Amino acid sequence: MALDGSRPGSGVVAADHVSLRRNNLSVVLRHVRELGPRSRARIAADTGLNKATVSSLVAELVDRGLLREGNAEPERGVLGRPGQLVELDGRGVCGVGAEINVDYLAVTALDLSGETVTERRVPLDVAHLAPGTTLDQLAELIREAVDAVVARGGQTAGVTLAVPGLVQSSTGSLKLAPNLGWTEVPVVDEMRARLGTPVYPVRVDNEANLAALAAYSEMKTAAESAGDSKVEDIVLLTGAVGVGGGMVAGGHLLRGGHGFSGEVGHMPVAPAGGICGCGRTGCWETVVGLTALLNKATDSDDPVRDPSLDVEQRLAEITRRAEAGGARTLRALADVGTWLGIGGAILVNILNPDVLVLGGYFAVLGPWLKEPLETAIRDRVIAPDGGGCRVVQSELGFAAAVRGGAQISLDQVFLDPTLVGRDAAGVAQ
Amino acid sequence: MALDGSRPGSGVVAADHVSLRRNNLSVVLRHVRELGPRSRARIAADTGLNKATVSSLVAELVDRGLLREGNAEPERGVLGRPGQLVELDGRGVCGVGAEINVDYLAVTALDLSGETVTERRVPLDVAHLAPGTTLDQLAELIREAVDAVVARGGQTAGVTLAVPGLVQSSTGSLKLAPNLGWTEVPVVDEMRARLGTPVYPVRVDNEANLAALAAYSEMKTAAESAGDSKVEDIVLLTGAVGVGGGMVAGGHLLRGGHGFSGEVGHMPVAPAGGICGCGRTGCWETVVGLTALLNKATDSDDPVRDPSLDVEQRLAEITRRAEAGGARTLRALADVGTWLGIGGAILVNILNPDVLVLGGYFAVLGPWLKEPLETAIRDRVIAPDGGGCRVVQSELGFAAAVRGGAQISLDQVFLDPTLVGRDAAGVAQ
């Protein structure tokens, strides 16, 4: 039986039979996800649920296509005859993440076990297009992803849109995205209309939040399989034209009181700096964003600035120049790294993360940015040894937000397995 | 039955009968605390526990002195004969908070219902004393508080020490407190020895964390009784010689990965500023701490700087001068208020709290600091309308950390009522 997390302030929650059953389905499904294939008897012993209940819960989860029968349990000696293992299935259940950013669109579909079913990214000069035009193009990419899910006999559990701005999750509205030039766009309603009001839910979230969730999930899995100490608190920095922050504390995403947390790009760290997309002066992203790097490293007619280039092509060229020892490029990278450390140290002093994750373009150029960043953290963080914070480059790169978006849709299924219909073809609303 | 909070990442917890009983005792006790006196039948209906279980749980909680029989329930018509109400007791169970700060020591004892049993604050020039001498004096104050609890027939559930520095809770050690000049002091062990290795637990925590918990608890209660919208995310600023931050998000204290979060006083916001107690230049507390205010508002031989004055006497004099329209005092306050806003806006951009709470000296001088602070938040926070963040002055002033410390000790009892012995005289270890 799952107990209340029992921290001060936890709600005192009463349950009826339906919510108790739903909770227990979730407990069993998450148990198998986290701990791997195991027998019904083992699940009963581990969770404190009785064996008959576990058998009934497993049967329902198999019915819903979320678990499947696995191999026979290895011989267990004195503990009796071997049982049948059950394992995570969910190949038929997919979450879709779809991102709008300043210079690209991206879509990914993941199945319940975390396998990638399809992914695409296309360069697009979003800041110079009408929101409707961009949403049309993204809808087309989402439809392709949903078709790919259907083609493998699966169902879509939900679509999550990732946007680089302030999101009001409750209404599905993007309040403000300075670097896109978008204000008050009801992105969920607009997308649902373009997708023909689908049966699956459509959500929207801040791209840095979603990237942080994806990075957290990846690091947690990696730490567990390596037997490392727990990673429960991370700060992820998304480096693009703008800079966003996504924060996970104690395993939970920090959204703030109204969902507007993580606006780290606008810390006023460079009073003598340039004008920001937000209209203010000296914001952090004016000294560490991709535009700042390009301005420092290249002339205005440098081909690397061609807007039709994908961001990865652009970064490949910067990398080539840095590896060739280009003095101007290396100076620009060192400068960005130092500024990254000045703002990074503020975040580490405030939040004391286990890990500061470099995402987006910071991850790609990490080999040059990491040293000045780590120096600044050692020098400027008041806790000894940077408060124990490690700096790592995300392995997910620009795919982090879409993966996080897909995961959020799948997380809903882990929390409430009854969202997936008992007939494998349809998702209950 | 209390369900798992069911957020992604929640642990999958199995329970045995002992932990299930302990959890259910906690559910019933917290239920009565949060919702007030009620009958056993009502508790059963509200929590989903069956009536016989509730009767047994209530009997045990009465036995432990945590609940007591109250009045008969008001006539309920068709619902049957009126039952007996049970209500929170706990007059006999007290938590003690004890604070070491730069220029004072403070101790408070609260009973389980939140009533103050005893409180004291004494000025002390801690930064110029050996840690041992300060701990001797604090131990004396704690003994007085524990004696006051015993004198009313009560028992001490625990003592929590509040310190203005980096704390390693697991070992009970103060790593670093720049403004005290303390490094690596095992404060819990030192205090336990001075208290004669008491049966109750002794803990240590950062003073801003404890102040934030106390402020959160106060604001939550106030919002509930006023029917206002929920307050779940707050940032509290403790203004003393140093400046600390305590953060509550989604109802939970943010401690960071290693317990070193909230070091907001060292954000490098004033590159042209003075030398900080931490050895760096331009830290936020060099422009908003009490010393900065005194330096701006007074000459070095001003009697208000006399170290034998209590901080409240000092602030009373500053208040008197401001109310009398003293130009230098008002200029200094406006300057501190503006710098408070510059750093405050960083915190609001990052954390998006519902409320920014001014604690310590900021609360006392709030009438002069609030306007420039609110202006900076409006101007510098990227979310519209400051992200919905309100600025309020704490009502708890310098008592916040000790109250938070007492509450943490009491929270342990709410989470595990079996910590209190069945014989009302002894607390189980």
The structural domains of chain A, with segments of one domain joined by +, span 17-88, 93-210+402-416, 229-397
Q: How far is A147 from chain B (nearest CA, A)?
A: 28
Q: How far is A201 from chain B (nearest CA, A)?
A: 18
> Which candidate from A48, A176, A249 shows the least CB-CB separation from B249?
A249
pLDDT higher than 60, residue A400: yes
* Neighbour-count burial of A19, counting CB atoms closer than 10 A to its CB (0-12 exposed, 13-18 middle, 19+ buried): middle
Q: Give B93-210+402-419's CATH code, choosing from 3.30.420.40, 3.40.50.1100, 2.170.120.40, 3.40.630.30.
A: 3.30.420.40
Q: Which of A213, A351, A385 to mutate to test the interface with B (most CBs of B within 10 A)?
A: A351
> Which candidate from A12, A261, A384 shows the least CB-CB separation from B2?
A12
pLDDT higher than 70, residue B78: no
B184 to chain A: closest CA residue: A384
Max mean pLDDT among A322-326, B305-309, B379-383 falls in A322-326
Contact A13 B2 (CB under 8 A): yes
Question: Binning pLDDT at 50, 70 and 90, where does residue B5 land?
Answer: very low
CATH topology of domain A93-210+402-416: Nucleotidyltransferase; domain 5 (3.30.420)
Size of interface A-B (CB pairs under 8 A): 247
Contact B347 A347 (CB under 8 A): no
Q: Centre a 10 Å sphere on the Cβ of residue B119 and count the other Cβ atoms it contains.
A: 17
Q: What is the mean pLDDT of residues A206-210?
A: 95
Question: Binning pLDDT at 50, 70 and 90, where does residue B420 land?
Answer: confident
Contact B257 A354 (CB under 8 A): yes
pLDDT higher than 80, residue A13: no
> Which candidate from B23, B247, B355 shows the least CB-CB separation from A3?
B23
Q: How far apart are the first and last CA of chain A?
A: 27
B178 to chain A: closest CA residue: A382
Contact A351 B261 (CB under 8 A): yes
More confident site: B135 or B65 = B135
Contact A6 B26 (CB under 8 A): yes
Cα atoms found within 13 Å of the Cα of residue B301, Cβ hemisphere only: 0
> Which range, of A119-123, A269-273, B131-135, averages the lowest pLDDT?
A269-273
A6 to chain B: closest CA residue: B415
Cα atoms found within 13 Å of the Cα of residue A344, Cβ hemisphere only: 37
Contact A232 B257 (CB under 8 A): yes
Q: What is the pLDDT of residue B81?
A: 53
pLDDT higher than 60, residue B212: yes
B13 to chain A: closest CA residue: A2
Task: Quote the mean pLDDT of chain B.
Answer: 88
Q: Are B150 and B132 in contact, with CB atoms under 8 Å apart?
A: no
Check if A93-210+402-416 and A229-397 are the same fold: yes
B contacts of A233 (beta carbons < 8 Å): 256-257
Contact B8 A271 (CB under 8 A): no
Cα(B106)–Cα(B309) distance, rounded to whole angstroms?
15
pLDDT tens digits along B368-385 = 999 999 999 999 999 989
Q: What is the mean pLDDT of residues B388-399?
A: 91
Phi and psi, residue B201, nearest 5° = -75, 145
pLDDT tens digits along B158-204 = 999 999 999 988 899 999 998 899 999 999 999 999 999 999 999 99
Q: What is the pLDDT of residue B75?
A: 58
Q: What is the pLDDT of residue B230?
A: 81
pLDDT higher than 80, residue B29: yes
Q: Which amino acid is at B158?
A: G
Contact B12 A47 (CB under 8 A): yes
Q: How far is B270 from chain A (nearest CA, A)?
A: 9
Percent of chain B with pLDDT over 90: 66
Q: What is the pLDDT of residue A8?
A: 32
> Which candidate from B3, B252, B260 shows the least CB-CB separation from A250?
B252
Handedness of CA B45, B49, B54, B60 (dihedral sign): negative
pLDDT tens digits along A327-354 = 999 999 999 999 999 999 999 999 999 9
Q: How far is A1 from chain B (nearest CA, A)?
A: 5
Q: What is the mean pLDDT of residues B213-229?
A: 84
Task: Quote the mean pLDDT of chain A.
Answer: 88
Cα(A375)–Cα(A267) distance, rounded to whole angstroms?
20
Contact A233 B245 (CB under 8 A): no
Q: What is the dihedral of CA B327, B330, B331, B332, to 10 degrees?
A: 120
A262 to chain B: closest CA residue: B350
Q: What is the pLDDT of residue A10?
A: 35
Tell me if the domain spanning B17-88 has CATH number 1.10.10.10.
Answer: yes
A49 to chain B: closest CA residue: B14
A contacts of B389 (beta carbons < 8 Å): 257
Q: What is the pLDDT of residue B423?
A: 57
Q: Give B229-397's CATH code, choosing from 3.40.50.10310, 3.30.465.10, 3.30.420.40, 1.10.3720.10.
A: 3.30.420.40
A165 to chain B: closest CA residue: B383
The enclosing H or E element of B407 equals helix B400-415
> Which candidate from A48, A231, A261 shows the least CB-CB separation from B351?
A261
> Which candidate from B3, B7, B411 shows the least CB-CB separation from A23?
B3
pLDDT tens digits along B257-282 = 999 999 999 998 888 878 888 888 88
Cα(A209)–Cα(A234) distance, rounded to whole angstroms?
11
A contacts of B342 (beta carbons < 8 Å): 268
- Residue B251: which of A265, A316, A12 has the closest Cα? A12
